[in-house]
Each structure stands twice: as C-alpha cells, then as structure tokens.
Amino acid sequence: MTEIPDGPQLITYADRLGGDVPRLTALLEGPLAGVFTGVHVLPYYTPYDGADAGFDPEDHAQVDPRLGTWTDVRRLGEHHAVMSDVIVNHVSARSARFRDVVARGDSSPWAPMFLTLSSVFPEGASEADLARIYRPRPGLPFTTMVLGGRRRLVWTTFTPDQVDIDLRTPQAWEYLTGVIDALTGAGVSMLRLDAVGYTGKEAGTDCFMTDSTSGYTRRILDLAHARGATVLLEIHGHHTQQIEIARTVDLVYDFALPPLVLHALHAQDLGPLGTWLGIRPANAVTVLDTHDGIGIVDVGPSDLRPGEPGLLLPEQIDALVEHIHDASGGSSRQATGAAASNLDLYQVNCTFYDALGRDDRRYLLARLIQLVLPGIPQVYYVGLLAGGNDMELLAATGVGRDVNRHHYTPQEVDEALGRPVVRAQLDALRLRRDHPAFRGAFSYSAAGTRAALSWELSPGGETHRVVLELDVRDASFALRATRGGEEHTVLDESAV
C-alpha cells in the first residue's frame, strides 16, 4: 500500500475550477504551487454532468473526453496524490449494462447485478420491512421500471437515475474490479468509497451499515491494497459509528467537525468540540465543506443508534440550523429540504463562508482549527476561494447542493486569489504542508471560550512547534510557529 502524504488536499470538480484535468494540473502547479500535496478530483467519468454531477456514471472506467484522458490523470498524479471516487452503491440508469437489462430483462447476463425489491425480499416485504429501510431522502427507495417487458420495483436509494447494484453477485464484482483497475492503473493512489454504507441490503435490517456492508468494504480494501491504494470511506451517521469504522479501514471523514466548529463560533461554546477532540479517530480526513451539504446527522442523535445522545443536543442543532439560515441571509433556506431537490434529511445546503455570514475573521479561524487538527485536511474549492452561495445556479437547476458548486471562470479565480482571506488560507495551508512540527505530537486545552491547539516535534534537541490560540467569544486568534529556532506569529485576526 502506497504511503499517502498527510499534507493538505484540494477537493474540486475538474470542470468547475480549472475547466478540465490539464488546466486543473496547471492551476495546482502554478498559482497553487506549494499549497497542496494531494487533490480529490470529483467524478470525471462519462458523463461528468449527468443527473447527479458525475455520481451517476454511465461509464465509470472512462474519463469523459471533454475533461481529458487517463494520461492527463496520470500527469496530475506526478506531483500530487490523486483521490478518485469509486461509486460503490449504484450506476446510471443509462449505463450500457442496465440498458441491456431494460431491453432483455432476466435474459440479460447483467440482470443479477441490479437490485429490485424481490432481490432482497424474495417472499415479499411487509409494511414493517419497508418502514425500517434507512434512506437519506423522503419516501421509499424504489422506482417502477419496465425490465424486459415486465414492470419491476428497481432499488434506487438516491434518485431514479441511479440504480443500485447487488454486491452479492459476481457481475457486480467484475464491474467494481474493472473500475478499481482503471483508476489505479492511471496512478490514482487514494480511493473514496461513495455511498458504501447503503450496499449491504439485508431483509430484517434497516439496510444501512449491515454486516454485509463490512464484508464488502473489506473486499474492496483488499483489492485496493493489492494495487497500492488507500481507501477513504464516506459514511454519514452517528458519531460512534465513525469511531468504530475507523478501527477497520484506512481513513474516515471527520464529518462531525464542520457543525461543531459552526456551533462553537455561533454559540460561543467550545464544549461539544472539546468533547469530540477527546474521542475522534486520528485516521481522519478533516473537512469544513465538501460538494455536499453541511452534515447534521453526524453530531445529533440518530435512529441508527436509538437512545444514544449526539454531540449536540436537539435544541442546539435547531439553533445551529437557524444560525446558518440567518447568517446566509436566508439563502441556505432556499437550498435546503423541501425548498429544493436532493432532499437530504441530514444536511444544510450552504457554502461554509455564507454559514458564517461572510465574516472573514470567523471564517479564517474555522479554517485554522481544521488545519491544526490531526488528520489529512481537505479544502473544497469553493471554500478555498471563500465563495458565497450561488443563487443563480440554484435557480437554474433547482438542485439544492448546486448552491455550493459554483463554476469559476479563470478571471474569478484570479480575483479570489487576491483577497486577503484567501491569501491567509494559502499561507496556513503552506505551513500545514511544510512545517516539521506536524510530524510530532498533538495536544490541546480548552476552558470557557478559549482554547489552544499545538504540535511539537523535538528531534536531536531542536524543538519545532506550531500553536493556535483562539477565543470563540470574539473570534480572536494567533497562529504561531517556530522558524530558525524562534517562534513567530504566522497569522492573527489582523490578516483579514
């Protein structure tokens, strides 16, 4: 298995930042040189602009020719660790395999690969069986389709355009192995397993994170490790699930961090964040924002763990959601829940910058907290450029998540890179990438509204140290680091 640098990584769509893979490479090796050690390129498969922004691939083993080639992906990986998505749970309803099933029904050799209601419930499903199924959106996860002239209930966890696959079948593993081979053959060294929690559908369960899911994940881990790649699991759920899963895989997301940081800054309360710092897994990828919304289920009580409290109380979560809506001037309310499609029950659709009211000082402090914590920090391209909610794109598509998926022109990128809050983030990212203290020991202390987060490495008597001191009462902070044996202030609130 390839050792992955633990420096900061960029999360981006190739088309929405650079325009395509070669121009993204040029951006990382030009204006962003020395900032990131890796890049998570969101789905660039054919087509990258389907019903779910690439997460519904028709051909998962082919780069969309509008974005580049596998040679371009390999070129990107020459100087940056490349992460790519393995969409484990589903494929596009327009994929060649599923279109063959639509045409030929059970006569198609690919028919076993796709899940229907009867695949999991061959004797039929009771009302209790159906009500128990966990789904991130309202309603049942089935779409009526005609397969080989016969009306069937096809399992579609997310949208009718995304057909779930049956990982109990050899056809599914032939497909997934081909995807992993294509990615690792092009130099991709990190695989992000998208929606893997929904793969283990079993009668008598809620069909989420079942024993079968664990078995499928181990099988993918083995495939990845044999090809020199590491694996990141994308799971939204109760925080205790993340802790448990982290013990069995390479990497998990710290999805609890974004809402806890927002709570700390909006409520001027470090308590819940301090609690999480004491129990969170160290093998985590930290984020503030991603291509999805800001997770809520990750810090609250969950039906997945009945009776277990969350990191935030229900009333704290309600207050946090209202804080976000107020801070964004109500724009996040228009992009969330029943106001828009992608009706995820556990997320607020909003850029992180707007979630903090476009307050540069609080925003920079939030980013510094992320960068100083243990783990691999990933920074979403909209967050890197301190972007606000894209209400024009939301109006054009009606898709709630598009509020945080702006298409940047080269001029917009240049202008954003000149803003003080963006320049300060870049300075902090370079420090996180290069300072030797981050290879040492982490410690933290918190009391009231004040906290200190620090790293220290002392090889051969020389001390390398980085410390972030902060106060969420007024969002004051100072990031200091040793240089040449002396400690200097790298950033404080005067930077913005």
Rounded Cα distance between 472 and 108, Å, is: 60
Please pick, among 72, 194, 250, 298, the residue that the annotation labels catalytic: 194
> Annotation-wise, does 270 bind a ligand?
no
- Amino acid identity, position 295: G
Q: Are 157 and 164 in contact (CB under 8 A)?
A: yes
> Annotation-wise, does 192 bind a ligand?
yes
For 64, list phi and psi in degrees, rounded to 5: -60, 120
> Annotation-wise, does 134 bind a ligand?
no
Q: Which helix (H) or strand (E) holds 154?
A: strand 150-155
> Annotation-wise, does 166 bind a ligand?
no
174 is an active site residue: no
Structure tokens of 236?
């939204």
Rounded Cα distance between 135 and 332, Å, is: 22
Rounded Cα distance between 480 and 477, Å, is: 10
> Annotation-wise, does 344 bind a ligand?
yes
Q: Which helix (H) or strand (E) holds 150?
A: strand 150-155
- Amino acid identity, position 86: V
Residue of 1, 436, 38, 15 lying closest to 231 (CA atoms):
1
> Annotation-wise, does 198 bind a ligand?
no
> Annotation-wise, does 194 bind a ligand?
yes
194 is an active site residue: yes
> Annotation-wise, does 298 bind a ligand?
no
> Annotation-wise, does 115 bind a ligand?
no
> Annotation-wise, does 291 bind a ligand?
yes
> Annotation-wise, does 483 bind a ligand?
no
> Annotation-wise, does 222 bind a ligand?
no
Please pick, among 15, 59, 85, 234, the residue that the annotation labels catalytic: 234
Rounded Cα distance between 469 and 451, Å, is: 6
Rounded Cα distance between 286 and 396, Å, is: 31
Residue of 328, 260, 327, 337 lying closest to 293 (CA atoms):
337
Measured at the CA of 84, the angle between CA 82 and CA 90, to 5 degrees, comes to 175
> Annotation-wise, does 59 bind a ligand?
no
Point out the residues that are catalytic.
194, 234
Binding-site sequence positions: 52, 90, 192-194, 234, 291-292, 344-347, 401
Binding-site residue ranges for substrate:
52, 90, 192-194, 234, 291-292, 344-347, 401
